[in-house]
Structure 1
């Protein structure tokens, strides 16, 4: 918000300079982002009067002016401005003057005629974009006076960054209230006295939506002169506050909004056909706004209608149909209280920017509406004339302001200082808060202009602001350095990230909303959760898995000539589940589990001289995944997966833990590899975070001093028999057959198939590590163990020894 300092000081004028004023505002929570003069730096420009003017003998578009600059003699100035005329007063940049942009004025000669300075436009002085001609000054301007003094160009504009809760400061008067409180300076008293009605004309108003509009007031004014000129002082304040001057009636409305924080609307009375109806819009209704934009209205948008015709969008912008013009003679001035929740977000929905909606959606004073109508009426009568009717004030439902209590003890605890009861009472008095105190408990009745006071902490904040944050000592908190125990069987999400990062993966954070095609074709999800208002048309659904985003990361890097990519993401996925009920952290019908996924592509290892280059494969990523599971990895099993649309049907697997599928791993499907133009397939995995949180507690045991015995066993097994099935059977048998207790480890080290044979079988060779922790193994015991292994496989699967 832009605050003109001279305007502010007219309302409250503390005996402090600009720097101290802005510092106090900032420390009170009204952050001052900048302070600047209304005009850029320049010097040597004075008020001058054109005494004589004559054509230039050598140029049709130039004229020679004899100018009085208050120096006792006339100066000859060559000027090409079309509005230069005898008798007007204009700015003159004398010889030696420096204009904005470091433009220096010196004696010159234009088409053979000498010029001793330059007559200036507003644009050349940097105070306006208007450059059609010279800046014509008021006739009362003193010839020879410095133009900065004459036009008050050293006045300061203070830019304040307001937080959304401080709607009460969106006006000169609101900021002045804060300054008065901070400096103990009296406020200017505005003239809100009633104006006697000259006529009895009224407009019938019907409020059909009490949840939209709690109060609606207005009055008829007839016989106004809409062509009247806006006073220079008002136009100056508006322009320096960032508002464009339009016409007298519009300028007055904008002026009251900036000064008192009261948005108003002025209707052309002759264009209102029927009663004014305040209601919610009906389906299919549209409205052409003051800015020329036509909008289609929804049923949650408030409107003011004349009869059945919509005339304005409530609290946001008026309609073009009933807008005032220079031909307007009779008007209806309206001021209302619109509920903030009924206005919030509507302007942005229609891509509008509205000073009125900016205030209404934050909360505007609902008590002083009649007083503000009297104030705007007085301005209209003073500038445009007119005869006024009585004020109609329709009150249907005003906000209920509940008393707020603040305990002095609680205030002291939160602020960390011993603020006294008298200091708190003084602060509340200065803030204009109506309060009572009993047993060190202050009870406040929030004023109608303060929508930010609702709970005890709001009052504590007020005490802190006015007491002064800089007066609260900076004392570091003391805390005992207590050593916390680490849970050995529970792993945090941070540890999961650490584990993958240690294996060369880089973390990425992708959008939770993805392309619909990804969900349908990569995840096999034909019914994804659709966004009502996507940030981009292609990001229209919520993801049900993470791998699509990781593949996109790989494609992005591959196109930029990266030869090795390993990425992972930990985030939520979103699936339909009718069993989920609405809660503080849940949405009805939507399951939101945490998943962690990884993808690797390119070289298995960075290029180096020690080992040859090869592409990362399924088993590299499988090992990374097993390392991620840590001590729980021995409980994992991998079962072939052939029904995932994103994965290679022969090179993918379900991940099973405790008889539950917790994820999947595999190469990207060849069709997708071809679609993304990758020279070989990425390997991806995705598992639930819950399956990673619980670790097996490590059990310490004494290392055996006995030597190990290694035996190999090769068998012929059907091609369809999974190696994991063979291993699972032996692991189960170890727990029930005593002869097998000496098996410490089993590894598959060879797979062979006779290319000339048509038999549907293959040779599998396993290496067994055998050891007894107490005694040295004898050959007979070893042979007995191996025979039992073979017998178990033959009995269970019908294999035969090779």
Structure 2
């Protein structure tokens, strides 16, 4: 939020510098992002009055003027602005004045006519980019007054970051309240007393959705002049808040929004048929917004309608049909309280973010509407004239939010702050914050003010006491505690150790969002149920991830699009799987996942350029599993995964339980995700491997090892790993090593079959094996393979 320092000081004016004020606002929890002067550095510019204005004899687009600046004589000034005219009060840079950019004003002749100064535009004074004409001051501007004093240009704009819980500070009044609390000063509020009705005109208002709109105020104002000029003081306040002046009606509603934090809207009364109806939209109901955008509404969108059609998205954006225009003479002023839940997400769904929706989503003071209506009515009558009818108030008291009643215990206060604040001081702080406070037996009961939606629990009051007491006033005391050494199991494998391993192998760690694009996730996990967020940041971040692949693959595409020809990234984090048996219906598993794509190696003169393949990532995965001590218990089995290539992927099993997948991304998925080239991924359940197998020492046998090689022919669909596992199992007492060293297909091997060359290493720790024993063990292995896999020895 951006506002004028002088506007804030109209409400509360502590005797401190601008810098000190900004520091205090930051310490109050409203971080100041920037402070800038509202105008450029200049001097020598005063209020003047054009007393003569005629055509320049030698130039069609110039005028020769005589200007009264309060001196002994009139000044001759040549001006080219189209709005220069007799009687106009203007900003005059006299001879000797210095304008922004060190531009010095000197007496000169322009096309033969003397000019003793310059009539200035806003842009020439560094106030705004408006250079369409010279500044037009009000008729009561005193001639000769320094323009900096008249326009109050010795001012700064302060921009603050307002956290979502402090919606009360989205108006000058909220920031002023906080400053007043810190400096123990009263607020100086502008006159917001009720404006009496002078006509009896009303409009029927029917609020059908009372939970979404507990309070709706309307007021008919007739006979206004919408072509009246918005006063310069108001235009300047709006400009310093970053708001462009449009017309007096819109300017007034914007002014009230900035001052009080209460959004308002004005309808053209003559375009409302029958009356106002506040209801939920019909599915696909059409509405053309004020900016001309045509939209279709969902049935959960609150609208303000008449008896025929929707007129506005309630609390978000007005409609074009009922908007105020140059012909408008009668208006209906709207001031309402909309439930934040009825507004949240509706603007984003339409690609909108308005000042009104920003405030309503966070919560507007439900007790503010009558004040805001009075303020807007008074300003409208003052600037545009007209006559106001009575306020039409439709309120559902039972649906209005109730102020929270919170108990605060002394023990909790002291423990959380770590410092004792006197009882009287605590009571005073809570009272200054607007709470109704009762103290009894060293404890407090406080009723939160209507504008503080964030005060709900005891910890909120503790935070407020600490904030107002001053964090800098809480002494720094080292924490003292009795520490106990936590038990550490030798079997615990640190995830950090795995991360270091992957980094050593050329990977980089990525951290992606837990909420992902449901469209991309459905490509990876078709048919799987995901948790959908009711109020997402955006449509592309509306589903909780079922795996880490969604974020990692999106990141891989991002890197490829930026000319990264070798991507090796990994991530560890939670996945969120709907599960009725889990706590709150969501199972959260810690996953470890990695993606590689592009070149296998960094570019090097001695290495051929080669793309990554399945076995590259499998090697990285096996290095991880080796650290866990469970590699010997791991099996890679053929199993379908819709995200992976059916012929280049495998499920990862640990002692019969599936713990993950590894494989090449499915070609169709590569195309849909715009991946460039082969991409390989793996993912496994971290908690299944985090408990490592402790290494134990085994004595090296003193007796010789014997190697025997066999070649067996099996069907193509028989995994080589199953052959190796079977040999280990059958020769468990003597076979100490089994290795696949060749695979052959071709002449001598029938089609649909393959020849696997296997080495068997046999050894005993107590004696030397005899040849007969070795032959018997090898034969036993061959027979087992024959029985289970219909394998045969190759000739």
| TM-score using structure 2 length | 0.85
1:56–1:428 distance in 2 versus 1, CA, 3 Å: same
Match of 1:710 in 2: 706
Match of 1:77 in 2: 77
**1:297-354: per-residue Cα shift (whole Å, max 9, x none)?**
2221222222233233322233333334455444433322211211223233323343
Match of 1:402 in 2: 404
**1:579-607: per-residue Cα shift (whole Å, max 9, x none)?**
646753718xxx97735345476457985
* Structure whose CA Rg is larger: 1
Contact 2:89 2:137 in 1 (8 A): yes
- 1: CA distance, partners of 2:521 / 2:359: 43
- 2: CA distance, partners of 1:194 / 1:754: 98
Contact 2:311 2:322 in 1 (8 A): yes
- 2: CA distance, partners of 1:374 / 1:560: 60
1:9–1:221 distance in 2 versus 1, CA, 3 Å: same
1:36–1:483 distance in 2 versus 1, CA, 3 Å: same
Structure 2 counterpart SS, 1:61? coil
Unaligned runs of 5+ in 2: none
Residue 62 of structure 2 is aligned to residue 62 of structure 1:
yes
Residue 435 of structure 2 is aligned to residue 433 of structure 1:
yes
**1:415-453: per-residue Cα shift (whole Å, max 9, x none)?**
111101011011122223111111122111112222121
Give the drift of 1:472.
Answer: 1.8
- 1: CA distance, partners of 2:126 / 2:459: 46
Structure 2 counterpart SS, 1:584? helix
Structure 1 residue corresponding to 2:630, chosen from 623, 629, 632:
632
Contact 2:262 2:368 in 1 (8 A): no
1:85–1:438 distance in 2 versus 1, CA, 3 Å: same
Structure 2 counterpart SS, 1:299? coil
Within 5 Å, which residues of 2 pair with 1:268-347?
268-347=268-347
Give the drift of 1:726.
Answer: 4.4
Structure 1 counterpart SS, 2:584? coil
Structure 2 residue corresponding to 1:594, chosen from 580, 591, 594:
591
Structure 2 counterpart SS, 1:59? coil
Match of 2:414 in 1: 412
- 2: CA distance, partners of 1:21 / 1:722: 74
**1:625-674: per-residue Cα shift (whole Å, max 9, x none)?**
3322122111223456799884473x665544313444455667899999
Match of 1:732 in 2: 729
Match of 2:25 in 1: 25
Within 5 Å, which residues of 2 pair with 1:221-240?
221-240=221-240
Deviates more, 1:472-481 or 1:297-306: 472-481
Structure 1 counterpart SS, 2:290? coil
**1:10-68: per-residue Cα shift (whole Å, max 9, x none)?**
33233333222222222112222223332111223233344444543432323333444
Give the drift of 1:784.
Answer: 1.8
Structure 2 counterpart SS, 1:352? coil
- 1: CA distance, partners of 2:735 / 2:499: 35
Structure 2 counterpart SS, 1:413? helix
Match of 1:456 in 2: 458
**1:462-487: per-residue Cα shift (whole Å, max 9, x none)?**
11121112212234434667544433
| TM-score using structure 1 length | 0.84
Match of 1:35 in 2: 35
1:294–1:97 distance in 2 versus 1, CA, 3 Å: same
Contact 1:655 1:663 in 2 (8 A): yes
Structure 2 counterpart SS, 1:60? coil
Structure 1 counterpart SS, 2:503? helix
Unaligned runs of 5+ in 1: 736-740
Contact 1:638 1:653 in 2 (8 A): yes
Within 5 Å, which residues of 2 pair with 1:281-680?
281-396=281-396, 397-478=399-480, 483-508=485-510, 525=526, 546=549, 553=556, 560=563, 562=565, 566-570=568-572, 580=580, 583-584=583-584, 586=586, 594=591, 596-599=593-596, 602-603=599-600, 607=604, 621-630=617-626, 631-639=629-637, 646-647=644-645, 649=647, 654-665=651-662
1:97–1:734 distance in 2 versus 1, CA, 3 Å: same
**1:156-215: per-residue Cα shift (whole Å, max 9, x none)?**
332232222222222233222222222122222554444444444333322211111112
1:709–1:461 distance in 2 versus 1, CA, 3 Å: closer
Aligned residues, how many?
A: 783
- 2: CA distance, partners of 1:490 / 1:529: 31
Deviates more, 1:718-727 or 1:345-354: 718-727
CA RMSD after TM alignment: 4.2
Contact 1:68 1:74 in 2 (8 A): yes
1:519–1:793 distance in 2 versus 1, CA, 3 Å: farther
- 2: CA distance, partners of 1:275 / 1:394: 13
1:759–1:70 distance in 2 versus 1, CA, 3 Å: closer
Structure 2 counterpart SS, 1:436? strand
Contact 2:639 2:649 in 1 (8 A): yes
- 1: CA distance, partners of 2:282 / 2:554: 47
Contact 1:648 1:670 in 2 (8 A): no
- 1: CA distance, partners of 2:265 / 2:232: 22
Structure 2 residue corresponding to 1:745, chosen from 709, 713, 737:
737
Contact 2:557 2:674 in 1 (8 A): no
Match of 2:167 in 1: 167
1:547–1:271 distance in 2 versus 1, CA, 3 Å: closer
- 2: CA distance, partners of 1:625 / 1:409: 52
- 2: CA distance, partners of 1:661 / 1:122: 71
Contact 2:599 2:609 in 1 (8 A): no
1:508–1:372 distance in 2 versus 1, CA, 3 Å: closer
- 2: CA distance, partners of 1:677 / 1:31: 41
Contact 1:253 1:263 in 2 (8 A): yes
Give the drift of 1:761.
Answer: 8.1
